[in-house]
Amino acid sequence: MPYPAVGPRVLLRRLREVMAEQETAQEKLDRIAALVASNVVAEVCSIYVRDDRDELQLFATEGLRREAVHRARLKVGEGLVGTIARSAEVLNLSDAQAHPAFRYLPETGEEIYSSFLGVPILRSGRVTGVLVVQNRRPRHYSEEEEEALQTTAMVLAEFLASPEFLSELAAHGEKKSRRLHLRGEGLNAGVALGQVVLHQPKVVIRNFVADDIEAEIARLNAALEDLRAHVDELISTTGLSNQGEHAEIFETVRMFANDRGWVRKIEDAIRHGLSAEAAVERVQSDNRARMLRQPDPYLRERMHDLDDLANRLLRILTGQTGTAAQGDLPRDSIVVARSMGPAELLDYERAKLRGLVLEAAGAGSHVAIVARALEIPVIGQVDYITDQVENGDAIILDGRTGDVHVRPNPDIRQAYAEKVRLYARRQARFTRLRGQPAITRDGVRVSLNINAGLLVDLPHLEDSGADGIGLYRTELQFMMTRALPMREEQERHYRAVMKAAGDKPVVFRTLDVGSDKVVPYFKTEREENPAMGWRAIRMGLDRPALLKAQVRALLSAAAGEVLHVMFPMVTDVDEFLQARKMVESQLEVMRLMGKPVPRRVKTGAMVEVPALIFQLEGLVRHVDFLSVGSNDLMQFLFAADRSNPRLAHRFDPLHPAMVRALDTIARACRDAATPVSLCGEMAGSPLDAMILIGLGYTSLSMAPAAVGPVKAMTRTLDRGKLARALRSWLDNGGTSLREKAAVFARDNGVKLYSR
């Protein structure tokens, strides 16, 4: 039916009426094509949809040959329509056939048309289709006509993502959604199959039309005030607004929130007839499409900042707050988020949580640490995944390789399902070993302990059959809060840990912050080499009130029990003596005050700094125990940043230099009858743990999931035979012992299971 020419606002209202009709998706698209053609006084209006084959299919037209619908196709980058899809930019031509990208499609009959206006149909910055108008007479389309087409494209973008249209797409032989294979950084090993749960579901815009322009601008300004107040509060509560690179990040966020150019674009979209929320989405989708195509990584990173602000503004305008954790979760939920705090992850029902995928999170992020404690597979640094998935999409993640498969084909799904079944069978085998001791074939008892740092870790103590907690990272409690935990709060936490552990020992490591462990309320200067900077015991000795409060909390929590306190990052014997003296002085104060105290206090040090290896003779006379932090020791020994992916596999913990260093520590402790343990990645690798036992380490601390595989290895190992072989390997020099160790295990029936 013909429509009289109308302005953008009236066009929007008529589009809304079409969308509300009880018609098929195809009928609605046909009516929209006719409506737009009439509105811009065009002889042709065509709607192209990007399909599963990454081609642009003619889906509806007013003016071209009807038989071309669903037959005419162009690849992305092919022809004028394909050029728009690739560039995500408007193309306004008075002589289309003179353009070098013009491609003639004989089935359409479009050779008689000269002028051409095409706009991308954008959703979350991705081109999902192209909207085109054409006329026979050469003409340049006006700015108002461009605006009308772009407004229509925005409404179409939401419609093309609706279940109603996806069913129509499937009816024409297309899959409902495209398969994706994305890559990120594996932050916790494991495989998970499930369905996408967007942590913050995409904002659904239900009203596109501004019935009252001034009222919509007033709504926008009120929402912007709320947004700016929220940003200012965020900056002030973190306590990082005046520090180094943090200052730059926060100032960028504040700058965007107050940017008049951004706000002016939104206001202009409202004046063209869009509601406030539709205008925000329109401007942000344009920005995202442009920045996604920028080669400059800095500009692409800034898109995350602007995206975050736009999403916050949309939630304020629509009132769609909260996260998926408050809803009814599917039983195989894999949470997908741009970023999230650790407390937000704990809001999810653990029994239904299978995995986590994040756009912006590294191995040291707080949420990754909590996810590892929950023992769920985690992948971080997956660029723009939240823009490419929908709630309910099938998804597979492999935390070991960093692979993410969205809407996978049946073959991939079957392969990963078999991998999960194999892992489950292996874990069942380890469960049978849970009550068995870790004793080598020649009778050496090895104590297998877990690393922990949160109360949610404690059930793993029983589940894994571990002998105790060899490393309790007290800093995680500090990292979970926005303010320094008071001494009483710390005391309650440590008492709960000891109660949950029962009669099994817990080694508490004092606060180890700095380097990659950022605590927001500690004001620190930016350091060029934070891993070797002001951190751990160095910070504790320089801020004695902080360390004293923690020591006092530990002593109070362990009243009547045996307390193990370990100091991290000790570089000099005198540092340990100062820290131990602080424990003794607090113990004396408590006794004088008549406070209950531990039955016994054992103090130890972590060997992480190579300089301490050359002071072992003096150190072992003063400590009750030592623990080797293999991660940092190897990092400092090889001058290789373990968080740098280029160096991740460059240095092997079984390199003779590392093995000799570990041997030196074990010998010194053996000679002095000082207990020694090792915590770190080495302890959780069955092959590496085998070498450690051969060197004389009879206490290891690892991730809970590693206890079963390491126990299985230990019970099939002849420690004496390995020790003799090790001595020969070290005496003969050479490179990594890994290959020799693997051959020894194979030839001697040592069971090596991967986690």
With contact defined as beta carbons under 8 Å apart, do 605 and 567 qualify? yes
With contact defined as beta carbons under 8 Å apart, do 511 and 474 qualify? yes
Packing angle, helices 143-160 and 276-292, rounded to 10: 90
Q: Residue for token digits 């967007």?
A: 198
With contact defined as beta carbons under 8 Å apart, do 455 and 501 qualify? no
DSSP result, 297-318: HHHHHHHHHHHHHHHHHHHHHH
How wide is the angle at C-alpha 506 spanned by C-alphas 501 and 507, nearest 5°? 165
What's the CA gap between 31 and 50, in Å, rounded?
Answer: 20
Both tokens assigned to 503: 């009669």
Query: Among 394, 413, 401, which residue's Cα sits nearest to residue 178?
Result: 394
181 is catalytic: no
564 is catalytic: no
What's the CA gap between 154 and 747, in Å, rounded?
Answer: 66
Query: Among 464, 442, 441, 460, which residue's Cα sits nearest to residue 452?
Result: 460
Identity of the amino acid at 722: L
User: What is residue 443's three-state secondary structure?
Assistant: coil
Both tokens assigned to 81: 């329509």
Q: What are phi and psi of 323, to 5 degrees?
A: -125, 175
Identity of the amino acid at 400: R
What's the CA gap between 625 and 678, in Å, rounded?
Answer: 11
How wide is the angle at C-alpha 607 spanned by C-alphas 605 and 608, nearest 5°? 125
What's the CA gap between 425 and 382, in Å, rounded?
Answer: 30
Query: Among 92, 79, 143, 139, which residue's Cα sits nearest to residue 119?
Result: 92
Q: What is the dihedral of CA 574, 579, 582, 586, to 10 degrees?
A: -150
DSSP result, 186-217: EEE--EEEEEEEESSPPPPP---B-SSHHHHH
With contact defined as beta carbons under 8 Å apart, do 448 and 505 qualify? no
Instruction: Spell out the alpha helix ranges (H) of 374-486.
Output: 410-432, 459-464, 475-479
Both tokens assigned to 647: 């160096």
Q: What are phi and psi of 560, to 5 degrees?
A: 80, -5
Choice among 366, 405, 460, 564 that is catalytic: 366
Neighbouring CB atoms inside 10 A of 594's CB total 7
State the burial class of residue 467 (Cβ atoms within 10 Å of its Cβ: 0-12, 13-18, 19+). buried
Query: Among 149, 169, 171, which residue's Cα sits nearest to residue 159?
Result: 169
Q: What are phi and psi of 238, to 5 degrees?
A: -75, -25
259: Cβ contacts below 8 Å, ≥ 6 apart: none
What's the CA gap between 517 and 512, in Å, rounded?
Answer: 8
Which strands make up the sheet holding 126-135, listed edge to edge? Answer: 73-75, 55-62, 44-50, 126-135, 115-123, 91-93
Largest CA distance in the chain: 101
Provide the sign of the torsion angle of the four alpha carbons 677, 678, 679, 684, taken in this order: negative
Choice among 199, 246, 564, 679 that is catalytic: 679
What's the CA gap between 324 and 341, in Å, rounded?
Answer: 14
Both tokens assigned to 59: 């889906």
The residues that are catalytic are 366, 679
